[in-house]
Every structure is written in C-alpha cells, then in structure tokens.
C-alpha cells in the first residue's frame, strides 16, 4: 500500500528551493498539509524574499495540494509552528532543512561566519523543534528530521563552522530520540547529497544535475510516516542510495593496574591495541558506554597484586622485571573450529598408526566408534594462548623467545566432540617467582555450545624473569606426583619418526623451534626438538591403550612436567604404575635413558563409573553445569569473592514453567559456598529465570537488563547487587 500523509501537517524549513522544495512537493502530493517556510535568503544568509516560498506553494496548489507559505527565519521558531497551527490546526512533522554556507579556512573564519552558521543550522533547528515539541507530545505523534552533512561526520576543509553545527544537530537528534520515544516522537538525522544552489559551487555541473533532490526525498518521507519505527538513526543518502551509520568502538585496553597510577607510557605501549578494531563493539547508548567503564572498575577491583605484601624494594623490582600482570586477567576469548581432519591429524601427530588396528577409531572418520583423542583437548586451549593471547596481557612484557612450557594439566568433563566450534577463555591464575625465572599459571576453560568441555592449566616458565619478590608456590597449581617406589606395572616403547615434529606442528603449534634448524641452534639445541605436548600425547595414548582399552570416555585428567627435550626419531619409553584409577607415568628417551616427562599421572574413570556424559545433569538442566563451574570457582577463590562481593544470591531455575532447581551462591559467610535446594538463610537478591534463559544470559546471548525488562528475568531484593553478580558470572563462570 502506498504511504499516505492525509491528515498530517508538515513544516519544511528552507523549502523555497533545493531539497526542501522537493520534500514539500512530495509530502503535499501524498495528502499532507504543508507549511513551506523560506526566508528567501542568499546562500550566505543575506537578503530576504517571499518569492521562493510563494513559488513552491503555487506549485503545490496547482497540483491540488494544500500548502501555505511562511517567510520567517528559523531563528523565529515559534512563528513557524504558529503558522502551521493557524492554517491547519496542528503540527505533526518538522523537517529541519533550512541552511546556508559561509565557508572559510579555519583561521579566516570570523565571529560572524561562525555565529551565523550555528544560529541558522543548530539554534534554528532547536528553536523550531522546541516550539513543536509539546504539540507532538500531547497528540502522541511527532516525526522530526535533522539535516546533518558528510562535512560534519567526516570533516571538510574550509567548513569548520558548518561541520560543527551539522554534527551538533546529530547530538541534538540523539537526545530528542530518547526524550521523545515514549510520546511516539521520533527524531532521525540525514546527511544528504544533492545538486542544489549550495552544492553548485563545489560540484561540477553534470553532477549537480544528476544528483537530484528526488533521490533523497523518499527517505525523508518514510522516516516521517506513522509506520516507520526508526528513531535516533543517522543516514547517508544520495543518488538513490541510502546507508545507515552507527558507532564502532575498539575492544580497547585497560592501561592501568590496581592501586597504581596510570601513566602516558602505558598508553603509548598499548596504543596499537587501543586502536585495533578487531572484534570491535557497537555501543548504542550512554548506558552501554558507561557500563564498560564500570566493568573496568570492577575488574580492576577484583585484581590481586603480585606477591602478598610486596615491600617497596620488591615492588619496584616487579615493575622493572617486566612481569607484573594482573592475576585474574583474562585473555581475549578464542574460537576454534574443527572437524574430523584436525582430530585425525592430531592422532597422527602423536604417533598413531594404521599398523595398530585398534588405532583406527582415531584415524578413520568412517569407523563406527570414530573418536577424538582426549589429549586433543590441549589444542583449542593452546590456540587461545598462542594467537597473541599472552602478549595482549598488560604488564606481561616478557621476551617470548625465553618462554618454556613447564607443566600441563588437562581435565575433560565429557568426551571431546569430533567436530564443531570450541570457545576457550584463558585467565592468568597466578604468577610465581622461581628466582631464575617466573612461572605463569594460565587456566583455560573450553566450552562447546556453552557447555564446559575441558579445563587446561598451562605452566609457562619465563627464563630470566624471576627475582621480582613474588611468591614461589601457588595453591592454584595442579601438583605433579612422584611414581610409586616399585618397578612399573607396564612399559611401552614407541618410536617417534624423523618427521614427528613436522607432523605434530600442523595441529597448531607453529613455533619454529620444532622445525627450523637455525632457530633451534639459537636456542642451544642440536636440532629442532619435539613438542613437549607431542610426548605428552604419546604417553597419554599409551595409558589409554594399556589401561582403558582405548576408550576415550574413561579418560578423566592428565598432569605432566616437561623435563628434557626429545629429538624427532628417538624412541619414547612410557613407564606406568597403576594405583586404583590413577596411572602414574614417567617417560624416557630410550636411547639416552633421560627422563623427559616426570611427576606425571592420568586419572581414569572406573569402568563401572558412568562416563560424565551419562551422568544425570540435574534433571536435564543446562544451568546445573554452570553452577558446578561456579562451585569450582568458589572453591578456588571463595574468600577473595566474599571480600569483593559480600552478598547472597539465590536463583530459582524454572523448566517448562515449573520450579526445577534452586541454587544459592553465598558470598557473604565463611569462605563462600554454593547451596543446592532450599536455602536456610536469607538471600540479598533472588532471581527467577528459566533454565534456557539463564544459560543464554551466562553465555552473553541474552542481555540481563533486557531480560529483566521483558519479564524473562524476575528479581527481588537489592537489585543494585546485580552489578556484582555480573562480575561473578562473567568472570568466574565464563561461558
């Protein structure tokens, strides 16, 4: 159906020519009563004539339309609106279009050049719109157009005055859009391009003739129609094309540390990151803008400092050593997409072969039990660390050629899928000072469709970065365990090939140390060395075969310490001791008898034990997993959280409209706790939400504020505390 403006009263300012004339004609053609305003000034704002407006009114009337002329300046805003009321009894639509130019290079811009431009464009639009506002508000309908310009959006030589006024109008529109919303008053801004007397001085005549005002006008009509719900938009329009603009903001960087002054050097050092638009966000309100600042405050607040009580001397050593990362600092989340090819390539990388028929389930995607080797779980999480992850941490100015992989822990919560998308979130769990070097403990949670699949802990040794007065041990570190003092229960000897590292690196560890002889020589090695995680993969699959019949669902966790390098082509001897469901491991290079993996062990699920996949998940509730993750975090960081949060939150989880579970996070008492079921005490804030919506919120797919306003999330108690809750869910569940 065609868009009609029957019954609507429209004021178009500066409608004696150019774009304004076109709007006036078009509105009138579609039934509107139009006030054709034009002062009849020259392009610089001088002179006055009624001829321009009269001519357009005549044109409209000749075609059977309704129009009256008005010759006042937009600086007399009330009079323009009065003209509409006098002639047609109401005002529905205001198109702020009147304009002049007084172009000068900036130093030559006089006070008058400046003031006149602000007065006509910005102040004029303010006065006219303010005069119309209450009428629109009372009738619960209003449509306002502001006319900005590319010169304002992007800047243009010689138009400092005009650019400032034009973007000022956008600012005005942004706020009117917010204030008008509840009265059905919408305000949008256009930056048009059209041939007119204003542009004929700057554009070649052909272009002036081709860029017709009629290629702009339909956007204005649409934005002013009842059906159009657009509000607060900014559009570039010309030549029959329309595009919408919005703000984009880089992810940015936090450049200060808790309790330390912010300085320009830190800004300089992070400049590239501050200005990097990768994964940029698009904030659309001051609320969103402020929210990110508040979350920075909360994030900084929850940081620990390195060393419990650094003395002045050690504190200065910390800052000079280059290792002063915020513990608890998150690395950018990373996404890992894979399919059977990566699984098979990894299996080949850790020495699986079709020579062993029972390896086929890891090498052939058509195998009925085709599976991913459990230790593949290190690959996606390593990607989180490698893709610039560690180097993005403020305060972690380490020499990456001096980094050694010290230890690794991996725990699976369910068997790995053989394809899909995994998301990993890495956190600096702790930083230790070992004198000769620093150890960075990095915890990585990896999720598949929001479900926690595995947890990795990397211990990274940075040679030469110690001596900053930090602690030597961490309760967060997963410990290595010595093997029993008896002969091993099983020994498997397996040769690596000359190309083992060349093959393994295709799974994602591209460090030239493992392929480039000259690079290896620089590191003091006689030849490129095998990846520590490759030997780790060898050892793990030896255990899986020996004690779990190659059943990946039996695998629970593995811990190893990397002691010495292995050269591709050497044979690995894995010695295994079974102690219940724990298999202790030691790996040696057979040719040299050198221990390469020590203190290592694998925990298996007992045969009778159901695999975690089959465990009942709280009556099929997805939220159960999130709470279990929170429970783990409270165990690790409980007292710290109690200090920061000091509140009790209850969650009533519903499923299919019925109460399905209740969880209470107590971050007030003792070292913090998670309760399942009815809570004996009093919660400070209680939420009721469905299982699906809860998980969506934690995954960041559902905005909690929106959920609250749409009734999907109900809350009772001290709502202000929800700020803190976001920190817990975001930082500690991190799905």
Indicate which single residue of 10, 11, 12, 18 sits in contact with ligand NAI (rule: CB under 6 A). 18
CA distance readout (Å), 730 to 118, 299, 305, 321: 46, 10, 21, 31
**Residue 24 beta carbon to ligand NAI: minimum distance, rounded to whole angstroms:** 11
Residues in the interface with ligand NAI (CB under 6 A) total 33
Q: Tell how strand 66-70 and strand 33-37 pair up.
A: parallel
What is the CB neighbour count within 10 angstroms for residue 199?
16
Please say which residue, 206 or 475, places its beta carbon nearer to ligand NAI.
206
In the complex, minimum distance from the CB of residue 161 to ligand NAI, in angstroms, rounded to a whole number: 12
Element (H, E) at 175: helix 160-180
Which of 24, 100, 128, 513 forms a contact with ligand NAI (CB under 6 A)?
A: 100
Binding part of the chain for ligand NAI, among 8-16, 58-66, 403-411, 588-596 by CB under 6 A, reads: 8-16
Select from 60, 2, 6, 63 the least CA-distant residue to 35. 60
Which residues on neighbouring strands pair with residue 235, listed in sequence order?
190, 244
- Separation of alpha carbons 208 and 200, rounded Å: 6
- Of 194 and 667, nearer to ligand NAI (C-beta) is 194
CB of 196 to ligand NAI, least distance (A): 3
Q: How far is the CB of 226 from ligand NAI (least distance, A)?
A: 24
99 is a site residue for ligand NAI (CB under 6 A): yes
420 is written with which tokens? 């899909």
Closer residue to ligand NAI in complex, CB, 140/197: 197
Position 97 contacts ligand NAI (CB under 6 A): yes
The region of 106-114, 188-196, 248-256, 360-368 touching ligand NAI under the rule CB under 6 A is: 188-196
Min. distance of Cβ 50 from ligand NAI in angstroms?
11
Among 25, 67, 98, 707, binds ligand NAI (CB under 6 A): 98
Q: Which helix (H) or strand (E) holds 191?
A: strand 185-193
**Is there binding between residue 168 and ligand NAI (CB under 6 A)?**
no
CB of 162 to ligand NAI, least distance (A): 7
The 437-448 sheet, strands edge to edge: 334-338, 420-433, 437-448, 451-463, 403-412, 555-562, 595-604, 582-589, 571-579, 490-495
Q: Least distance to ligand NAI from the beta carbon of 19, Å?
A: 4
H/E run at residue 243 = strand 241-245
Which residues are bridge partners to 438 per DSSP?
A: 433, 462
- 199 interacts with ligand NAI by CB under 6 A: yes
Whose CA is closest to 93, among 140, 139, 145, 53? Answer: 145
**Per CB under 6 A, 149 contacts ligand NAI:** yes
> Which 3 state secondary structure label does DSSP give 176?
helix
Q: Is 684 in the site for ligand NAI (CB under 6 A)?
A: no
Q: What is the DSSP letter of 285?
A: S
Window of 10-18, 343-351, 611-619, 676-684 that interacts with ligand NAI by CB under 6 A = 10-18
Binding of ligand NAI by 122 (CB under 6 A): no
Task: Please give the residues from 57 up to 86 whose contact with ligand NAI meets the rule CB under 6 A.
Answer: 73-75
- Least Å distance, CB 102 to ligand NAI, is 11
Q: Nearest Cα to 698, choosing from 726, 677, 676?
A: 726
SS3 591: coil
Tokens 């996070």 locate to 665
Site for ligand NAI in 228-287 (CB under 6 A): none
Outline where DSSP puts E strands in 528-657: 555-562, 571-579, 582-589, 595-604, 647-655
Binding residue for ligand NAI (CB under 6 A) from 130, 197, 249, 471?
197
Task: Please say which residue, 147 or 664, places its beta carbon nearer to ligand NAI.
Answer: 147
Q: Does 13 engage in binding with ligand NAI (CB under 6 A)?
A: yes
When the beta carbons of 194 and 513 are compared against ligand NAI, the nearer one is 194
- For position 120 contacting ligand NAI by CB under 6 A, the verdict is yes
Shortest Cβ 125–ligand NAI spacing (Å): 9
Note if 154 is an active site residue: no
User: Cα dihedral angle (592, 593, 596, 602), rounded to 10 degrees?
Assistant: 150
Q: Tell me the per-residue interface mask from 20 to 49 with ligand NAI, x by CB under 6 A, - otherwise.
A: x----------------xxxxx-x-x----
**Nearer to ligand NAI by C-beta: 75 or 269?**
75
Q: Judged by CB, which is closer to ligand NAI: 193, or 685?
A: 193
| Closest chain position to ligand NAI (CB) | 18
| Alpha carbons 20 and 9: distance in angstroms, whole number | 15
379 φ/ψ angles, rounded to the nearest 5 degrees: -65, -55
12, 34, 36, 52: residue in contact with ligand NAI (rule CB under 6 A): 52
Task: Provide, rounded to whole angstroms, the least separation between the CB of residue 181 and ligand NAI.
Answer: 25
CA 16 to chain centre: 48
Site membership for ligand NAI, residue 14 (CB under 6 A): yes
For residue 139, count CB atoms less than 10 angstroms from its CB and return exposed for 0-12, middle for 13-18, buried for 19 or more.
middle
CA atoms within 13 A on the CB side of 378: 29
156 binds ligand NAI (CB under 6 A): no
Residue 321 · residue 468 · CB < 8 Å: yes
Q: Does 196 bind ligand NAI (CB under 6 A)?
A: yes
One of 23, 71, 154, 162 is an active-site residue; which one? 162
| Token pair recorded at residue 109 | 């811009």
Distances (CA, A) of 172 to 20, 145, 233, 599: 20, 11, 12, 67
Report the alpha-carbon distance of residue 435 to residue 111 in Å, rounded: 67
Query: Least distance in Å: CB of 188 to ligand NAI?
Result: 14
Q: What phi and psi values does residue 716 have, to the nearest 5 degrees?
A: -130, 145
In the complex with ligand NAI, the residue whose CB is nearer, 212 or 590, is: 212
Which of residues 165 and 326 has its CB atom nearest to ligand NAI in the complex?
165
| Enclosing H/E stretch for 235 | strand 234-238
The residue ranges that bind ligand NAI (CB under 6 A) are 13-14, 16-20, 37-41, 43, 45, 52, 73-75, 97-100, 120, 124, 147, 149, 192-194, 196-199
Point out the residues that are catalytic: 162
């Amino acid at each position: 159906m065609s868009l009609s403006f029957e019954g609507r009263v429209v004021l178009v300012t500066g409608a004696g020519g150019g774009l304004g004339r076109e709007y006036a004609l078009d509105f009138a053609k579609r039934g509107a009563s139009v006030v054709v305003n034009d002062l009849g000034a020259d392009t610089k704002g001088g002179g006055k004539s009624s001829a321009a407006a009269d001519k357009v009114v005549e044109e409209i009337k000749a075609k059977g339309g309704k129009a009256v002329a008005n010759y006042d300046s937009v600086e007399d805003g009330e009079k323009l609106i009065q003209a509409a009321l006098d002639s047609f009894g109401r005002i529905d639509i205001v198109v702020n279009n009147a304009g002049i130019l007084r172009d000068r290079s900036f130093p030559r811009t006089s006070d008058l050049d400046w003031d006149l431009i602000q007065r006509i464009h910005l102040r004029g639009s303010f006065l006219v719109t303010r005069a119309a506002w209450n009428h629109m508000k009372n009738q619960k309908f209003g449509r306002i157009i502001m006319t900005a310009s590319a010169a304002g959006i992007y800047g243009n030589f010689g138009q400092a005055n005009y650019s400032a006024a034009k973007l000022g109008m956008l600012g005005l529109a942004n706020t009117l859009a917010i204030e008008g919303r509840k009265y059905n008053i919408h305000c949008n801004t256009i930056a048009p391009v059209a041939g007119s007397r204003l542009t004929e001085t700057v554009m070649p005549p052909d272009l002036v003739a081709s860029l017709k005002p009629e290629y702009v006008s339909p956007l204005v009509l649409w934005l002013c129609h009842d059906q159009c719900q657009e509000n607060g938009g900014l559009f570039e329009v010309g030549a029959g094309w329309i595009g919408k603009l919005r703000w984009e903001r880089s992810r940015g960087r936090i450049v200060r540390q808790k309790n330390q002054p912010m300085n320009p050097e830190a800004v300089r050092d992070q400049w590239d990151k501050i200005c990097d638009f990768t994964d940029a966000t698009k904030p659309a309100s001051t609320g969103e803008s402020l929210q990110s600042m508040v979350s920075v405050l909360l994030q900084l607040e929850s940081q620990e400092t390195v060393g419990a009580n650094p003395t002045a001397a050690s504190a200065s050593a910390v800052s000079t050593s280059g290792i002063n990362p915020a513990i608890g600092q998150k690395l950018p989340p990373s996404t890992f997409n894979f399919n059977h090819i990566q699984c098979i390539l990894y299996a080949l990388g850790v020495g699986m072969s079709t020579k062993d028929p029972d390896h086929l389930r890891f090498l052939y995607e058509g195998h009925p039990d085709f599976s991913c080797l459990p230790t593949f779980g290190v690959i996606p999480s390593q990607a989180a660390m490698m893709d610039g992850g560690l180097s993005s941490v403020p305060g972690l100015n380490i020499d990456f050629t001096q980094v050694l992989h010290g230890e690794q822990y991996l725990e699976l919560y369910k068997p790995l899928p053989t394809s899909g998308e995994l998301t990993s979130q890495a956190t600096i769990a702790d930083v230790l000072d070992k004198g000769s070097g620093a150890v960075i403990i990095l915890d990585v949670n990896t999720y598949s469709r929001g479900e926690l699949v595995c947890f990795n802990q990397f211990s990274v040794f940075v040679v030469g970065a110690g001596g900053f007065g930090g602690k030597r041990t961490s309760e967060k570190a997963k410990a290595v365990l010595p093997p029993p003092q008896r002969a091993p229960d099983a020994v498997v000897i397996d040769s690596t090939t000359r190309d083992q590292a060349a093959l393994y690196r295709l799974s994602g560890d591209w460090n030239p140390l493992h392929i480039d002889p000259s690079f290896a020589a620089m590191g003091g090695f006689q030849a490129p060395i095998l990846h520590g995680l490759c030997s780790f993969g060898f050892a793990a699959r030896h255990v899986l075969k020996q004690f779990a019949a190659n059943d990946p669902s039996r695998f629970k966790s593995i811990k190893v310490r990397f002691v010495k390098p292995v050269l591709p082509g050497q044979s690995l001897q894995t010695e295994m001791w079974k102690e219940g469901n724990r298999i202790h491991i030691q790996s040696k290079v057979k040719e040299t008898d050198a221990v390469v993996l020590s203190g290592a062990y694998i925990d298996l699920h007992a045969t009778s034990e159901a695999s975690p996949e089959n465990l009942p998940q709280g009556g099929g509730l997805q939220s159960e997993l999130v709470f279990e993750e929170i429970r783990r975090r409270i165990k690790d960081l409980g007292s710290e959280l109690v200090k920061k949060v000091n509140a009790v939150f209850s969650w009533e989880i519903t499923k299919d409209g019925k109460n399905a579970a209740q969880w209470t996070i107590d971050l007030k008492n003792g070292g913090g706790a998670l309760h399942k079921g009815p809570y004996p005490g009093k919660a400070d804030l209680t939420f009721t939400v469905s299982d699906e919506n809860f998980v969506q919120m934690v995954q960041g797919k559902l905005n909690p504020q929106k959920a609250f306003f749409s009734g999907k999330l109900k809350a009772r108690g001290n709502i202000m505390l929800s700020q803190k809750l976001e920190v817990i869910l975001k930082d500690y569940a991190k799905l």
